[in-house]
Amino acid sequence: MAIPAALVVCGGGPVRAKIDVPADALVIAADAGAVEAGRLGFAIDLLIGDLDSVPPEALEAAERAGTRVQRHPVDKDATDLELAMEAALEAGASRIVVAGGDQGRLDHVLGNALLLASPRWASAQVDGVFGSAMAHVIRAARTLDVAIGEIISLFATGGIARGVTTEGLRWSLADDDVLPGPTRTISNVAESTPISVEVREGTVLVIRPGGEHP
């Protein structure tokens, strides 16, 4: 049976922003994400990964609680987070929220953010919470409830995002193309709420870094 939402918890440090998922969301921990899921008070339905970084006591606690454990080889072609997102999609989730830290290796932090925008998850609404930051994948159009004065950055992923139109930001886009690389769309500011982002073709990753507003 399909589920409305899945929460995927990965490692990388504490989650400091609010996680908004329904009470009946499927909770999947990616390896050491089991520790953060426990700290946040979520009961884990599935623990997945090569399990090379989850502490033994956390693994034992999950098994005692009846958590389903899916162990993969250390030598594999996908990160534990990617495996967890695959599991969420296979379960029929129409919304996937990824939660984890913003600490550790830069390649992991960047890879986790970019993974959210993979076309493999196009059938689901995908959001992320990394430390104090939030990320939202925009395909077609979305509105986002934000704080006035909040920093909002837009990144094209997987190629040029064409026909991007925004409302509620200090510097608006009107059927503009956003290219991967140039920094024109970094550090915009929300002047009303909600804001809206529309993309005619391609994918935009909206990053809300959190912290102090300008």
Side-chain-side CA neighbours of 31 within 13 Å: the count stands at: 16
pLDDT band at 192 (very low <50, low <70, confident <90, very high): very high
Q: Which domains occur in the chain, in start order?
A: 6-131 (3.40.50.10240), 138-208 (2.60.120.320)
Q: What is the pLDDT of residue 3?
A: 78
Phi then psi dihedrals of residue 163, to 5 deg: 65, 45
**Is the separation of the CB atoms in 47 and 69 below 8 Å?**
yes
The pair of three-digit structure tokens given for residue 199, joined into one six-digit string: 């993309």
pLDDT in tens, 11-38: 989 999 999 999 999 999 999 999 999 9
Q: What is the model's pLDDT at position 104?
A: 83
| Model confidence band, residue 214 (pLDDT cutoffs 50, 70, 90) | very low
- What pLDDT score was predicted for residue 211? 61
N residues, the chain: 214
How many other CB atoms are found less than 10 A from the CB of residue 107? 8
Cis peptide before 4 (omega within 30 of 0): no
Interval 55-82: pLDDT, tens? 999 999 999 999 999 999 999 999 999 9
Look at 210 and 8; give whichever has higher pLDDT.
Answer: 8
Indicate the pTM of the whole model: 0.93
* Integer CA distances (angstroms), 118 to 28, 68, 87, 168, 189, in order: 19, 26, 15, 26, 26
CA angle 174, 175, 179 (to 5 degrees): 105
Question: What Å distances lie between residue 43 and 32, 56, 67, 181, 195, CA to CA?
Answer: 14, 17, 8, 39, 33
User: What gap in Å lies between CA 70 and CA 80, rounded to an integer?
Assistant: 11
Rounded to whole angstroms, the Cα distance separating 214 from 212 reads 7
Ranking 20-24, 95-99, 152-156 by mean pLDDT, the lowest is 20-24
Could you give the CA distance from residue 7 to residue 13 in angstroms, rounded to a whole number? 16
Task: Please check the confidence at residue 168 and state whether its pLDDT lies above 60.
Answer: yes
How many C-beta atoms lie closer than 10 Å to residue 123's C-beta?
12
% of the chain exceeding 70 in pLDDT: 97
